[in-house]
Structure 1
Amino acid sequence: MGRAVFYVDGMNAYHGFRSKYGREFLWLDWAALAQQLRQPDEVLVVRYFTTIVAGEPDAAHRQETYLAALTAHRPEVQVVRGRYKKKVNKLRCRVCAERWTCACTPPTYHRTYEEKLTDVALAVAMVRDAAERYGDVSVVVSTDSDMNPAIEATAALAPDRTVYLACPPGRQPEKKHLPTSVTPFLIRRDQLAASLLPDVVCGAQGQRYARPAKWR
């Protein structure tokens, strides 16, 4: 039996679940899923890296409700937050769709948001745990190739540490793009179905966090 540490790329997992199953598994108990994935290992901690969505208040509220429910129900889940940086796309005007030199007064531009810090935070945590010999199994939930340098550094620092890549549904990468030190596997639907939070989670101070109607 090993001692497993999980590193979850929240946005990568979210988009994988949404593309395959819609909103069915967004109200997910990550600690329960971790135990499903690594029986009979001891799961020491689940480090969940995410960013609250920007520019969509209703979606942000659902996300905050979920994170509050998850951490209230599972203290072993550690949420690490990044942030979104606003970007302005000056290639085309939002009014006439012409190039930014259009005659609209004033020209308006597409505003988009770029997630910042989460990938770096995940990579740093993974390498730090390997250097400090915290646990002996690393499980990365992501198919983002930006994780490859951290996986390779982990293998160099702790050659006896097993590293797994748990791929969200529909996002299994080609093996030729993966470091040789990692073992990939696909998260199955039955594992997700067995790992949902209760519809209503109660906090330590009597708070009640209900699964959003849109996520049912």
Structure 2
Amino acid sequence: MYIDGFNLFRRALQGHDERKWLDLEALCMRLLPGYDVGQIRYFTARVRHVEGNDPRAPQNQERYLRALGTLPSVSLHFGTFRADKRWMAMSPIELEDSGRPRRVRVRKIEEKGTDVSLAAHMVSDAMRGVADAYFLLSNDSDFVEALRIVRERAGAEIGLIVPGGKAARGLLDVGIDEMRVVRPHVLLESQFPDRIVDESGAFRRPPSWRSAEAPLRREGPRAG
């Protein structure tokens, strides 16, 4: 399983704090009950505090990454997080007296390197034949070529898990063998216990990630 962390966040978790304490092993078991998911590669970038956003975001993410570290099958792969100020054309377009588009200074937030890393790992793993099937959890059509190589060059089964909504047409055109859609109730049923124990001690779900809508979970340790 190859998880595009930012695509998952934007399409299924953002604005739903009760879903964010997500146990990826539990999620895969619910989505793929007929498969033995031997490895889950999770691709993300460490966020920084950006003016106007939740100042707790970096600390909450670090706590979540610590929780993922307790899952034996999960490996973490990091890109970089960038927040740059740039001049860009207004939308809708307005023209200056010179006829050029009027521009405004904006803050552009993006992550870099995670997509390339995901595609590279997927293709490398498939060419080495480490598994019988390779599943992508994302709805980003940038992964079309990687999926095509896995299918055509490595001769492996490919699967797509869409984090809500309709799948991108380009991804479907590759010839997906299996497809799933991540439903909200599956995310709620796949949460970590509120309290987790690792090698460094006990820690808890971030307080801002709790919600009255989330089901109660019995507290319990998780082996590191």
- Distance in 2, matches of 1:112 and 1:176, equals 27
Within a 5 Å distance, the mapping from 1:130-141 to structure 2 comes to 130-141=126-137
- Distance in 2, matches of 1:153 and 1:76, equals 24
Contact 1:17 1:23 in 2 (8 A): no
Contact 2:23 2:68 in 1 (8 A): yes
1:13 aligns with 2:13: no
Q: Deviations over 1:29-83 (max 9, x none)?
A: 00111111111321111100001223344201100110101212x1211111110
- Distance in 1, matches of 2:181 and 2:112, equals 26
Task: Tell me the equivalent position of 1:202.
Answer: 197
Task: Tell me the equivalent position of 1:41.
Answer: 35
Runs of 5+ unmatched residues, structure 2: 96-103, 211-224
Q: 1:55 to 1:171 in 2, by over 3 A?
A: farther
1:189 aligns with 2:189: no
Task: Tell me the equivalent position of 2:25.
Answer: 31
Q: Deviations over 1:120-177 (max 9, x none)?
A: 0000010011000011111100000011110011112222x21111001235334786
Contact 2:135 2:159 in 1 (8 A): yes
SS of the residue aligned with 1:43?
coil
Percentage of identical aligned residues: 32
Task: Tell me the equivalent position of 2:67.
Answer: 69
- Distance in 2, matches of 1:119 and 1:92, equals 27
Task: Tell me the equivalent position of 2:121.
Answer: 125
- Distance in 2, matches of 1:84 and 1:33, equals 26
SS of the residue aligned with 2:2?
strand
Runs of 4+ that moved beyond 3 A = 174-178
Q: RMSD across aligned C-alpha pairs, in angstroms? A: 2.6
1:150 aligns with 2:146: yes
Task: Tell me the equivalent position of 1:104.
Answer: none
Within a 5 Å distance, the mapping from 1:156-171 to structure 2 comes to 156-159=152-155, 161-171=156-166
Question: What is the TM-score normalised by the length of structure 1?
Answer: 0.81
SS of the residue aligned with 1:36?
helix
- Distance in 2, matches of 1:176 and 1:11, equals 18
- Distance in 2, matches of 1:171 and 1:68, equals 31
- Equivalent of residue 106 in structure 2, options 100, 106, 110: 110
1:55 aligns with 2:53: no
Contact 2:7 2:139 in 1 (8 A): yes
Q: 1:89 to 1:171 in 2, by over 3 A?
A: farther
Contact 2:141 2:171 in 1 (8 A): no
Runs of 5+ unmatched residues, structure 1: 1-5, 100-107
SS of the residue aligned with 2:37?
strand
Task: Tell me the equivalent position of 1:88.
Answer: 85
- Distance in 1, matches of 2:134 and 2:190, equals 20
Count residues in correspondence.
Answer: 198
Q: 1:115 to 1:182 in 2, by over 3 A?
A: farther
Question: What is the TM-score normalised by the length of structure 2?
Answer: 0.79
- Distance in 2, matches of 1:214 and 1:164, equals 34
